[in-house]
Amino acid sequence: MFKDIDGGVCAPLGFQASGIHCGIRKNKSKKDLSLIVSDVMCHCASTYTQNKVKGAPIYVTQQHLKNLEAKAIICNSGNANTCNPNGIEIADQICQLCGNELHIDANDIVVASTGVIGQPLSLTPFQNHMSDLINALSTKGSQDACEGIMTTDTVKKEYAVEFELNGKTCHIGAIAKGSGMIHPNMATMLAFVTSDVAISKEMLNEVIHEVVDDTFNMVSVDGDTSTNDMLTLMCNGLAQNQEITQKDENYQCFKKALMYICTCLSQAIAKDGEGATKLLTCNVLHAKTKKDAKIVAKSVITSSLLKAAMFGEDANWGRILCAIGYSDADYDIQKIDVDFKSKKGKICVCQNGGGYPFSEEEAAQILSEDEIEIIIDLHDGDDQATAWGCDLTYDYVKINGDYRT
Amino acid sequence: MFKDIDGGVCAPLGFQASGIHCGIRKNKSKKDLSLIVSDVMCHCASTYTQNKVKGAPIYVTQQHLKNLEAKAIICNSGNANTCNPNGIEIADQICQLCGNELHIDANDIVVASTGVIGQPLSLTPFQNHMSDLINALSTKGSQDACEGIMTTDTVKKEYAVEFELNGKTCHIGAIAKGSGMIHPNMATMLAFVTSDVAISKEMLNEVIHEVVDDTFNMVSVDGDTSTNDMLTLMCNGLAQNQEITQKDENYQCFKKALMYICTCLSQAIAKDGEGATKLLTCNVLHAKTKKDAKIVAKSVITSSLLKAAMFGEDANWGRILCAIGYSDADYDIQKIDVDFKSKKGKICVCQNGGGYPFSEEEAAQILSEDEIEIIIDLHDGDDQATAWGCDLTYDYVKINGDYRT
């Protein structure tokens, strides 16, 4: 129904992007400022962190997106612009600078920041390099923009798909960053999604929440919900499909493509969690309700003890039952089965809430892979959910023992 | 008002204890079975884990303590007797064996287990060594009993105090274990407290909950609430004070002594958290309500990012604001001050919710100590709370990457 393509946020018609080093980060080989611009005005919605301590850019973006319209996204790394007394003023001035150079209204710009909390953000690098950033804009600029938003990320997270609506070719493109302070409660650290689909503001606002709840909000790296989480979806309508104005077949089709993109990004963020060596996928089956399935999946994927066991490739399923037990979900312990699965095979380790005889050797083989699936069958209903996470490693401790210096 | 004394659970009059190696653990140099016995019947209450997956011994103990009376506590390490199909039967038979040898009713015995979840617990070591355990009983046996309940603990947690009620000398003694899977929600992994105070069942049941809420329930090592948490308080009345039957001066005095003992145990458990190199104490001041203070303190002490920063001796206060932000507490971000304090001094790092200029060198000096206090002043009311935790280290990952083998 849809196929993977190249081009990231520039895959949809009418989008350009750029990423440069402007001097916020000390390391000159690291880009630290990114821009995404649409040729025409977009319908645009964002989801934000539910952390009560929010980055200044989030307040400014919320203001700018009240009318659900935007033309550009500007984002820096190396400084979160959070807990700074003049943070909102700085975020405002970044939009002013960018708007002036682009000849668009500052209110039509989405602004985001990621990096250390509580260090003053100077406007100087933005003043000195805004024209460089804009001169670098290109329909091939998605990779640069993706690099400009990375912090401790080790791989780029960039995806795009092509699909059809009413015979019109449509696209969705996206870039994201993750790594640490990842336990999104609304969206993840930063994800920017572009599309040339025509969709009403109302439907855009619906679809973004439906999709984020099942994707980014089901990822955990370390249980710490960041202050700057934000996902922004811009749709410029240049695909010329008939505008989506209700939850019809076309809405469902667009939602499926968006769900696919956001699932890819979520998995990529989990797999590239700080210090991670393994992607963990927790599938909870046959739950009473979707909510119960989600609670169980997220509790298991968040357990430090389970995460450390997965790093050690130890089939310590008791820690899974323990994490299910301290969650708020509704289930019958006596019915729970647990399997581990990877490319090397599948093994049952717990049946009816108790131990099931298994070969430790075979289990260790299965857990030696870098993508592990934990399958929890509650045998208690028809709903299911998936959560993504990663193992807890020496490197997570190393990276976070000395992040600022 | 009260003074520290030696003797642990045997410090109160009329208590004996023992600890032996009976063969549950493979390492013969590690004790794995402990017993505490009172000469006379005790008023006795327990608090238990709120994990819905509970160890079999908890179900049996709950049954035995319905009348709030007990004479003995038996506890093994090396196997949690949890998620085993015949776990309750085994826990029952342990009490039967012990009761027969002690010539007391099996219903007057509290039973507890700690160790790996989901591995069958054989009755054989208990059958073979119950008489050894009972022959070893002594008024000097508290240390042995303390060793018999340890798993990955590196230090013994044993305390006792002496105080007066109505001119009568009274005592409280205690042993506990902690280390990993520590995020108590009721009591911690295992704590056994004895006293010779005379107190009614009703008041005993009150005081245990009041004290545990402010002590054990404010400790977190890794956010994982165990399946076997349990604190048991036995009072045999041999101090011959007038029985405490209401919340009078004597109740408050007993509560203070008990609070002191439980605070010592809680700190010891946090400091000996798996892999820990530092004890973290988070003091939240001037909160709107006690509940708000507790939520903030526990959220901060549980943050993986903050714990890793403390290991790295990095004054990354932004992570404290972040953890306050994703908690459910009520406060005004703009009023929050944060200080770090240790033997080396005290330093303000955040004022009015924003950065406060400080010397990184001085901060690093302060954080180089092995006991760190994080002081969060909310400037928003009159309530306060304290939580205890530890840093997140390479050794936590190492210990838990391969716990079973």
Which DSSP string corresponds to B157-225? Answer: EEEEEEEEETTEEEEEEEEEE-SSS---SSS-SEEEEEE---B-HHHHHHHHHHHHHHTGGGB-SSS--
Residues 348-387 of B with CB under 8 A from A: 350, 352-355
Mean pLDDT for B376-400 is 90
Strand (E) or helix (H) holding A371:
strand A371-377
State the pLDDT at residue B189.
65
**What are the φ/ψ torsions at residue A294 (nearest 5 degrees)?**
-65, -45
State the pLDDT at residue B63.
96
Residue B71 has pLDDT above 90, yes or no: yes
* Rounded distance between C-alpha atoms, residue A352 and residue B85, angstroms: 9
Residue A394 has pLDDT above 50, yes or no: yes
Crossing angle, helix B87-102 and helix B56-64, to 10 degrees? 50
A191 closest CA partner among A131, A110, A135? A110
Mind telling me the catalytic residues of B? 188
Higher pLDDT residue, B35 or A179?
B35
* Residue A383 CB partners (closer than 8 Å, separation 6+): A286, A287, A288, A289, A290, A292, A293
- CB atoms A311 and B397 under 8 Å: yes
Mind telling me the catalytic residues of A? 188
Query: For chain B, which domains are there?
Result: 2-271 (3.60.70.12), 279-401 (3.10.20.340)
Mean pLDDT for B302-312 is 90
Residue B180 has pLDDT above 80, yes or no: no
Measured CA distances, B133 to B32, B126, B234, B299 (Å): 11, 9, 20, 42
A402 in B contact zone (CB under 8 Å) = yes
A135: left (phi over 0), alpha (psi -120 to 50) or beta: alpha
Mean pLDDT for A115-142 is 94
- CB atoms B225 and A326 under 8 Å: yes
B211 in A contact zone (CB under 8 Å) = no
Which amino acid would we find at residue A127?
Q
B241 closest CA partner among B197, B194, B193? B197
Which DSSP string corresponds to B42-53? Answer: EEEEEEE---SS
Which residues make beta-bridge pairs with B323?
A: none
Mean pLDDT for B2-7 is 91
Mean pLDDT for A289-293 is 94
Mean pLDDT for A2-18 is 93
Q: Which residue on chain A is closest to B185 by alpha carbon?
A: A326
Q: Where do the H-state alpha helices sit in A103-214? A: 124-135, 142-148, 201-214
Residue A64: pLDDT band with limits 50, 70, 90: very high
Q: In this predicted model, what pLDDT tens digit does every residue of B146-162 receive, in sequence order?
A: 999 988 778 888 999 99
> Chain A partners of B229 at a C-beta cutoff of 8 Å?
none
State the pLDDT at residue A116.
82
Burial class (CB in 10 A: 0-12, 13-18, 19+), B343: exposed
- CB atoms B51 and A303 under 8 Å: no
DSSP type of residue A217: G
Q: In this predicted model, what pLDDT tens digit does every residue of A122-135 receive, in sequence order?
A: 999 999 999 999 99
Query: Which of A156-160, A339-343, A394-398 has the least mean pLDDT?
Result: A394-398
State the pLDDT at residue B181.
62
Residue B223 has pLDDT above 70, yes or no: no
B332 in A contact zone (CB under 8 Å) = no
Residue B267 has pLDDT above 90, yes or no: no
Tell me what ipTM this predicted complex has: 0.75
State the pLDDT at residue A326.
84
What whole-number percentage of chain A has pLDDT above 90? 60
* Rounded distance between C-alpha atoms, residue A389 and residue B172, angstroms: 45
State the pLDDT at residue A156.
86
- Can you say which residues of A are annotated as belonging to the binding site for substrate? 151, 177, 188, 274, 400, 405
Query: Which of A12-16, A230-234, B207-211, B225-229 has the least mean pLDDT?
Result: B225-229
Mean pLDDT for B84-110 is 96
State the pLDDT at residue B228.
76
What whole-number percentage of chain A has pLDDT above 70? 95
Please give the structure tokens belonging to residue A3: 């196929």
Residue A188: pLDDT band with limits 50, 70, 90: very low
* Residue B295 CB partners (closer than 8 Å, separation 6+): B327, B328, B329
> Chain B partners of A401 at a C-beta cutoff of 8 Å?
308-309, 311-312, 314
State the pLDDT at residue A393.
87
Measured CA distances, B52 to A85, B229, B334 (Å): 45, 12, 39
Mean pLDDT for B191-219 is 87
Residue A180: pLDDT band with limits 50, 70, 90: low
> Chain A partners of B333 at a C-beta cutoff of 8 Å?
52-53
Interface test with A, best of B49, B228, B316 (most A CBs within 10 A): B316
Residue A379: pLDDT band with limits 50, 70, 90: very high
State the pLDDT at residue A181.
62
Residue B198 has pLDDT above 80, yes or no: yes
Q: In this predicted model, what pLDDT tens digit does every residue of A29-59 receive, in sequence order?
A: 999 999 999 999 999 998 887 777 888 999 9
Torsion sign over Cα B186, B188, B194, B195: negative
Q: How far apart are the first and last CA of chain B?
A: 47
B115 closest CA partner among B165, B75, B151, B163? B151
- For residue B309, give the nearest of A120, A393, A400 by CB distance: A400
* Rounded distance between C-alpha atoms, residue B70 and residue B38, angstroms: 9
Contact criterion met (CB below 8 Å) for A272 and A177:
no
State the pLDDT at residue B187.
39
Mean pLDDT over each residue of chain B, to the nearest integer? 89
Q: In this predicted model, what pLDDT tens digit does every residue of B225-251 receive, in sequence order?
A: 667 778 889 999 999 999 999 999 999
State the pLDDT at residue B188.
44
* Rounded distance between C-alpha atoms, residue B210 and residue B214, angstroms: 7
- Shortest distance between the Cα of A43 and any Cα of chain B, in A, equals 30
Which residues make beta-bridge pairs with A235?
A: A43, A195
Q: Which long-range contacts (CB under 8 A, 24 or more apart) does B362-365 make?
A: B363/B315, B364/B313, B364/B314, B364/B315
